[in-house]
């Protein structure tokens, strides 16, 4: 399976899970999406995600590196811009937001790449 197909299947699966959660009445995913919508436009997550996505694009374990960068960036943003005391939920949502931005950048880069 090609990398484009894998990325596309992840995208389709995510959309199906989001739509299914809205129809089944599950509140966790829509509430989390509302919080993510506010976080994704914030430069404090968007800019480090772009920098890390391009800086580590040639690393062997790319997604493992991005996972580490997302957790570190999330904790740094929480400590420097918000209160030191934060729940694990918010830190993990911020890290997930970071990974979503990296995923979008990587998918667009993959689509634009010529064979």
Burial of 87 (0-12, 13-18, 19+ CB in 10 A): exposed
**Mean pLDDT over residues 95-99, rounded?**
88
- pLDDT digit string (tens) for 73-86? 988 888 888 777 77
Q: For 20-23, which contacts have Cβ atoms below 8 Å and span 24 or more sequence positions?
A: none
Confidence of residue 115 (pLDDT cuts 50, 70, 90): low
- Count the residues in the chain: 115
pLDDT at 6: 84
**Mean pLDDT over residues 6-24, rounded?**
83
């Amino acid at each position: 399976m090609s990398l484009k197909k894998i990325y596309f299947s992840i995208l389709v699966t995510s959309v199906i899970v989001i739509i299914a959660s809205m129809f089944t009445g599950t509140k966790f995913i829509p509430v989390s999406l509302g919080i993510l919508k506010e976080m994704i436009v914030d430069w404090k997550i968007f800019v480090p995600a772009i920098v890390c996505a391009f800086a580590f694009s040639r690393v062997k374990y790319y997604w493992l590196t991005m996972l580490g960068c997302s957790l570190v960036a999330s904790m740094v943003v929480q400590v420097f811009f918000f209160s030191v005391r934060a729940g694990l939920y918010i830190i993990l949502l911020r890290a997930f937001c970071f990974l979503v931005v990296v995923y979008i950048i990587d998918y667009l880069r993959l689509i634009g790449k010529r064979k």
